Structure 1
Amino acid sequence: MKILAALACIIIAARVTLVQGVTAGIVLSLLLLPVWIVAIWRMRGGRATVVVGGLAIISGLVLTDFFAADHPTNDSMMQQNTFALVGLLCGIGVVVWARTILGTAPTALAYGVGLSASVVLHGVDSDNIWKFDLSVPATVIVLALCMLSRKLWLEVLALLLLGVVSALNDSRSAGSMLLVAAALVVWQAVGARLSKSSSTVRTLAVFGFVAVIGYSALQAFILEGWFGRAAAVRSEAQIAQSGSLILGGRPELGASTELIAANPFGLGSGTIANGIDLTIAKTGMARLNYDPNNGYVERYMFGNGYEVHSMLGDLWIRFGLFGAALLVVLLVIVALGTAGQVAQRRASGLTIFLTIQVFWDSLFAPFFSTSIATLILGVALVMVPRPDRTAEAPARTDFVSFQR
């Protein structure tokens, strides 16, 4: 059974496409449905994930039919988007099940091997191999091995080195996340010497504080030229353009906010943008001092559906309110699960990094293969079983009070 669980993680992460939108991972998930549906159903947030995810799939189909009156539609695109969401839900279920058999670290390691296999199968990006292909698989594998070693100094060193490598390869966001994760691992270790545990709320507050400080520090280092003059010049231009490094680097935020404001219930998983949608999106991007009339908007963002470079935006537009609600459910699971582990001084560097990565991707990364793979692992590693209330019931009924 352990071999099957490890192979399942590898196949889910490898994303081997069989036919349009259908991967080997989805087929395997359907075969393993009787075992993983029970495993995820017993987890906190598992039922909400399955139910809301199912409603999101239906919502995408219904919205496509509704907007067919004044928008072009594409059945092939609808199939791909639908199976992408199915793959997310099934992937979470399978990896949760595998974790109950293998344990957290071996599950993460097997998943990292699958991510590496995906790079081999799909080829590499010649422009920036580390940023677009190797960073996530390498980070998952290295941090999973550190988790197996149970050596704090090795985990912190790995996070710092991975952060520096990412920053040197123009992956500023990943570098920030890894450095913040290293800081939180150290804070967790120091806190363990002072007290055995902390509250979840306090831990979430520390998360936010360290994230802001870490990002600001890395931005200062980049602007000072620590990671190369080219990165400094590019960052300065983005800040000058929109007043913020984030907004300057992600003008698609303007398009997503305007489109969602104009279509709060979404547009559908098979709907293609029309001229009105393009005008709305370009207006939002222009407000960030970005020139949208360069072909990027027509070809990449809206050439085949809607791609606003944000998981929240993509899910909301393609699957409506239920798509957005699904992501919110998953983010709550990740936030509370990781904060609970940190509060108990037992969160790994991998878990902390994945949490930061998932929240970043929810706003600044498209809903596609890499972000889906990260979200699957991030959710699956922090899900905890629901309390067994049936076991607690006899204890309550057997209690007899003699107080008058």
Structure 2
Amino acid sequence: MTTSTAPAPPPVAPAAPGGSADLGPAGQAPAPVAPEHTPSGPGTTVVALLAAFALGLDLGLVPRVTTGLVVVGVLAPVWIGTLRRYRAAPLLLLGAVVLVVSGVVLAQWSGETHRVNHTNLQLDAILIVTAFGGLGLLLWARTVVPLRWVAAAYGLGWIAHSVLAGFGTQNPWKFGLALPTAVVVLSLCWGRRALLLVALTVLALLGAVNDYRSYTGFCLLVAAAVVWQGARRGGSRRPARLVTLVLLALVVVAGYYLGTAALTQGVLGEATAERTQTQIRQSGSLLAGGRPEWTATVRLMSERPLGYGFGVVPTTHDVSLGRQALAPLHIPTIDGYAEHFMFGGEFKLHSVAADLWSWTGVPGLLVAALMVGVVLWSLVTLLAARRAAALAVFLAVSGLWNIAFSPIASSLGDVMLSLAVLWVMTPARVDGAAPATPGARAAAAHALRVGAGRTAGRPGRRGRRGGPGGRRVPA
């Protein structure tokens, strides 16, 4: 027991949004800290959770109006003021405004040489507004409700969307239920390392059985992060962010080559092995064969670097450019895929970043780069402090994958969920009060460097996470 003359324990920063506080360097229990979310009345809690559910549901009400757009608009006066509590969040939302303006201006310019579908123009602009506005709404929700509740509510809405919309495929797990189920399960298992590892193993097996290769890889990578963070080395300093980033890059590269070898050897079944071997034989690599769209995208960028605009219909020249770029990959069905999907009535380049470029030009690429930077910076910060929750790692990996390889119409909202879950609050306003004193900010910075909390895999006390509506077409 501490006597009245004993020195007070050092101040401990609030746990970052990847985990919860643990014992300090000297083994003391942490001092009470202000939580990231401010306890609120039941009415505010219900509104925040219903808003997250409505964003995940993204149900069409009338033409061009969804539940997500409604809650974003109705609650705009509430969530706009919250943005200043997150580094670069106002910049990203300003970027969204620039995207809408750029997409409309480019469409008018492209109208001289291309046909513009004005219905798609409106839908594209509404998608941008709903997704980025939903990000702001979820960033507010995590300040009044524990983040894991926000993420679970969003995930439940996402599952409801998949069920109500119908799967239209013989693989409903891969194309409708896998990702939202992971969000809900990892939210419910928050802070329980043994339960998390069991859940991730089951999810990985379900991905393998249902031919969802990338999903299986995500789950295994998250499980490795949980184990690594739980392997405490007594008295050892935690790695700097740069070291963590390098280690993360090495793990991803090694995982790609080991995963490719495992797939070709039939670890996930003979059918998956045969498909993987065919893609590598035809295209030279698993990535080029599985996601060939970037080959055509680079060709289009070299031809028209400023992009096309909202609702622009590809011309026969655009289709020809895409086919020429895809031809060296020797994929038998690529011509039909290019004509009917990639260039069928609009540009669909199967990548959030590439689609942002085709819709909005250079501003779209800049916003995509900012999103990648936020996800990587937040993930590396949390991993370096060994406080990255399994849900945070999962959404970081899937979010980066979506930015690179998933269509914008089905995945932009999910990228916003990743951002809302991972975004680290500024230390100066982490408790929602006035800016902290220099001493408090120094203590917060020290805690993020050396870690003042229990690792994400161990029992925690609170969580936080959330983001807007869309579904994906996985590899």
Q: 2:149 aligns with which of 106, 114, 123?
A: 106
Name the SS for the 1:385 alignment partner.
coil
CA displacement at 1:204 relative to structure 2: 1.5
Partner of 1:313: 354
- Give the match's secondary structure for 2:361: helix
Q: Which residue of 1 aligns with 2:320?
A: 279
Q: 1:348 to 1:126 in 2, by over 3 A?
A: same
Q: Secondary structure at the match of 1:287?
A: helix
- Tell me, yes or no, if the aligned pair for 1:159 and 1:178 is still in contact at 8 Å: yes
2:67 maps to: 24
Structure 1 counterpart of 2:308, one-letter code: L
The AA in structure 2 aligned to 1:327 is A
After superposition, residues 70-149 of structure 1 pair within 5 angstroms as 70-147=113-190
Could you tell me how far 1:373 is from its partner in structure 2?
Answer: 3.0
- Asked whether the equivalents of residues 183 and 210 of structure 1 are also in contact (C-alpha less than 8 Å), the reply is no
In structure 2, the CA distance between the partners of 1:157 and 1:214, relative to structure 1 (3 Å rule), is: farther
Equivalent in the alignment of 1:355: 396
Report the residue type matching 1:283 in the other structure.
Answer: Q
Distance 1:336 1:169, change over 3 A: same
Q: Is the contact made by 1:16 and 1:23 (CA closer than 8 Å) also made in structure 2? A: yes
Which residue in 1 is equivalent to 2:420?
380
- More displaced 10-residue stretch of structure 1: 55-64 or 194-203: 194-203
Match of 1:153 among 180, 185, 194: 194
Shift of residue 191 of structure 1? 4.6
1:169 corresponding residue in structure 2: 210
Choose which of 88, 94, 102 in structure 2 pairs with 1:45: 88
Partner of 2:306: 265
Aligned with residue 77 of structure 2, among 34, 39, 43: 34
Structure 1 residue 393: Cα displacement: 7.6
1:57 corresponding residue in structure 2: 100
Deviations 1:174-206 (A, max 9, x none): 111111111122112215656463322122222
Higher RCO (Cα < 8 Å, 6 or more apart): 2
| Amino acid paired to 2:245 | L
SS at 1:140 equivalent: helix
Unaligned runs of 5+ in 1: 396-404
Secondary structure of the equivalent of 2:61? strand
Query: Normalised by the size of structure 1, how large is the TM-score?
Result: 0.93
- Tell me if structure 2 keeps the 8 A contact 1:73–1:270: yes
Q: What's 2:338 paired with?
A: 297
Flag the 1:346–1:281 CA change in 2: closer, same or farther, 3 A.
same
Give aligned pairs, total: 393
Three-state SS of the structure 1 residue aligned to 2:148 is helix
Deviations 1:74-108 (A, max 9, x none): 10011111111111101111111111111221111
Query: Could you tell me which amino acid in structure 2 is paired with residue 381 of structure 1?
Result: V
When residues 260 and 333 of structure 1 are mapped into structure 2, their CA distance, relative to the original with a 3 A threshold, is: same
CA change 1:203–1:267 in 2 (3 A) is: same
Asked if structure 2 preserves the Cα contact closer than 8 Å seen for 1:254 and 1:287, the reply is: no
Match of 2:287 among 246, 257, 260: 246
Q: Residues 109 and 145 of structure 1 are in contact (CA less than 8 Å); yes or no, is this contact kept in structure 2?
A: yes
Give the 3 Å change call, closer, same or farther, for CA 103–296 of structure 1 in structure 2: same
Query: Bigger CA drift: 308-317 or 217-226?
Result: 217-226
Q: Contact between 1:179 and 1:214, CA under 8 Å: does it hold in 2?
A: no
Residue 237 of structure 1 corresponds to which residue in structure 2?
278
Contiguous gaps of at least 5 residues in structure 2: 1-43, 440-475
In terms of fraction of residues, the more helix-rich structure is: 1
Instruction: Please give the alpha-carbon distance, in whole angstroms, between the structure 1 residues aligned to 2:377 and 2:319.
Output: 38
Q: Flag the 1:27–1:104 CA change in 2: closer, same or farther, 3 A.
A: same
Q: Deviations over 1:319-339 (max 9, x none)?
A: 111111111111111111111
Whichever residue aligns with residue 413 of structure 2, its letter is A
Q: Which amino acid aligns with 1:380?
A: A
Q: CA deviation at 1:347?
A: 0.7
Q: Could you tell me whether the CA contact under 8 Å between 1:26 and 1:87 is conserved in 2?
A: yes
CA offset digits 1:107-145 (Å, max 9, x no partner): 111111111111122112332111101101110111111
Aligned to 2:49: 6
**In 2, Cα distance between the equivalents of 1:279 and 1:364?**
22
Q: TM-score, normalised by structure 2?
A: 0.79
Deviation at 1:318, TM superposition (A): 0.7
